[in-house]
Amino acid sequence: MNHKSLFEVETSIRSRLSGGLKGSRKDVSGLEFEEVREFDLGDLESSLHLGASARAGRDMVVVRIPDRRVEITLVIDTTASMFFGALGATKYDAALRMLLVAAQVAKENQAKLTIRYHAGTPSRTYLSEFPIRPGTTDGVKKQFAKFVNSLSEDSRARTFDLREALQSLVLRGKHQTLLVVVVSDFLYTADYEESLRALLLKKNTVVGVATLDSAEIALPSLRLGAFRVTDSETGATALMARSPNHYLDAHRALWTNLRATLEVVHLE
């Protein structure tokens, strides 16, 4: 498994987010999308679309639709394995670094920026959003700290369903351009292919950031047996039926098959 440093992943995410925007980044509106419709009075003959006209049997034109809204969403795994606690801050730092990159791209393109996560109680969890106002680095850091403080409930009570999180964005992605960054350890079954595919088919950009610490990376790549592991943030111990590489291999194969990017970051 190829692991990258946090700086390398940060650089890659910046490139992928910027690449997901169509048009010139120098123009804050900058985004133009084309729509084909029937020729109407006032349309220029130069805008005629020959292929569409031939298929429709009548004159069709290409119309540029500017200013389609851009939204950048960080989907963050805040379950016990992604705990933002006092015993360790490595994953906190990783999520914050991704947010700072997203905030810069959002500011440059006047895009909406949100954090999306699961919240609730053991008996009922639901998707929630935390809006972020792109601004200065210190301002974004303070907003992120406020978000973390809002996670007052025991992290073990929360769930994380990437399939549900991505599916909830599919409808939104039909009407605007979404740049989605998923921050998680990805130590679960890769059962979200349909949702990820649907989101990508709408010309949205989705990038995954798999966060693993040194202890998780050091686990042997065995397919059988169980490991007793200690979470670096919570200090809690648990049995892991499969090694991190077993899960990550499945996730990476899925993302590669869909021509999407999944980065694995080695947290020091």
Asked whether residue 177 is domain-assigned, the answer is: yes
Domain end residue (candidates: 66, 91, 115): 66
Structure-token match 């049995």, residue found? 239
Whole-number pLDDT of residue 56: 82
Same domain for 167 and 62: no
Same domain for 253 and 163: yes
Neighbour count for residue 97 (Cβ, 10 Å):
18
Q: What is the CATH number of the domain that holds 212?
A: 3.40.50
Whole-number pLDDT of residue 26: 34
Asked whether residue 141 is domain-assigned, the answer is: yes
Same domain for 234 and 158: yes
- Please give the angle made by the CA atoms of 219, 225 and 226, to the nearest 5 degrees: 60
Same domain for 131 and 233: yes
Same domain for 46 and 16: no
Asked whether residue 130 is domain-assigned, the answer is: yes
Same domain for 170 and 44: no
Q: What is the pTM of this model?
A: 0.74
Same domain for 100 and 60: no
pLDDT tens for 105-152 read 888 878 889 999 988 766 777 889 999 999 899 999 999 989 988 876
Whole-number pLDDT of residue 180: 94
Whole-number pLDDT of residue 32: 43
Determine the structural domain holding residue 81 and report its residue range.
6-25+68-267
H or E segment at 165? helix 162-170
Domain end residue (candidates: 15, 42, 66): 66
Asked whether residue 169 is domain-assigned, the answer is: yes
Phi/psi-derived region of residue 248, left when phi > 0, alpha when psi is between -120 and 50, beta in every other case? alpha
Domain end residue (candidates: 14, 49, 66): 66
Compute CA distances 154 → 78, 84, 149, 228, 232, whole Å.
10, 11, 12, 22, 16
Q: Which residues of the chain have pLDDT under 70?
A: 1-3, 19-35, 63-68, 80-90, 121-122, 152-157, 173, 213-242, 267-268
Whole-number pLDDT of residue 29: 36
Asked whether residue 259 is domain-assigned, the answer is: yes
How many domains does the chain divide into? 2
Whole-number pLDDT of residue 85: 43
Asked whether residue 1 is domain-assigned, the answer is: no
Cα of 152 vs its chain's centroid, Å: 23
